[in-house]
Structure 1
């Protein structure tokens, strides 16, 4: 069980690192939007490349931060139901949710996302706009890669809940320790409220 917990923490740290790196694309996204808006409104220099770059940065931000949201428990839950359940019931629901919904969904998206990316690569797909960005396969690869990060976070949460179900003494009832990427100090990451 302790090995399972160590693996869960290692996967959680990986997901957190990927998410923090991807989150920096938000800063670049804001800068690109400002440049695009100022250029269009004050200098009449609209650019398809800038608009497509905005979409690409948004895709990177969204796809690679999904797993971070799951590890940090910032996704939507039905609190009215979950606050009335005990630790065992919450663990079982989380385990079943991972096994029956999250992981199968991730594997389907990864499979078809890789197929989509491969087709885009084979035909050297470019933007439909004459002045758009080339290498469309590059941004399409964010779909399977980002979903893979989400699947890794799902495996981390699955393992943690298995340990929490059978050996609650090894796992805190509400938090998961994942080292912070910035300062290597432990950060409490909410898993779910439990009893």
Structure 2
């Protein structure tokens, strides 16, 4: 059991690390958005790179933050009944929903993201939302990495939830 706890702790630390990196991209969003707004409205000098940078930074913030949010159970949910359940029943509901909904959807999304990232590297794809044409491969790779980290964190939660359902106590 000690080895399993170490693995789960490692996955948790990856999610913490991912969230810590993701927050800097939120800071980048503010800086670039401010720069573009000032350039465009006060100096009549819009940039060709700000829109793509904002889109990529927003996506990176979202994707690198996903595993962090999942680890801290901070995602949005409608919990009319869930909040009234015991911890063991919540864990059972989480296991059922993860197996039926979460893992199938995230697995498909991850497979597609990996395919898109590999294709982007292979063909030297560029983003064409503006006339800047930045390379798409780094962004697509981070997209796949974020989904991979989310799946890892979800697997760690699934293991903890199954343990709680079967043993009646937390694994940690």
TM-score by length of 1: 0.79
Unpaired runs of 5+ residues, structure 2, are none
Stretch deviating more after TM superposition (44-53 or 98-107): 98-107
More helix by share: 2
1:10-159 pair list within 5 angstroms: 10-128=10-128, 131-159=131-159
CA distance in 1, matches of 2:69, 2:133: 29
Answer whether contact 2:52 2:129 (CA < 8 A) is retained: no
CA RMSD of aligned residues (A): 2.0
Give the Å deviation of 1:163: 2.2
Change (3 A) 1:3 1:143: same
More strand by share: 1
SS of the equivalent of 2:81 reads helix
Tell me the number of residue pairs that the alignment of Structure 1 and Structure 2 aligns.
Answer: 172
1:75-102 CA deviation, whole Å, 9 max, x = no partner?
Answer: 1233320133233321111112222222
Give the Å deviation of 1:129: 5.3
Unpaired runs of 5+ residues, structure 1, are 177-195
TM-score by length of 2: 0.89
Runs of 4+ in 1 over 6 A off after TM superposition: none
Find out whether 1:4 has 2:9 as its counterpart. no
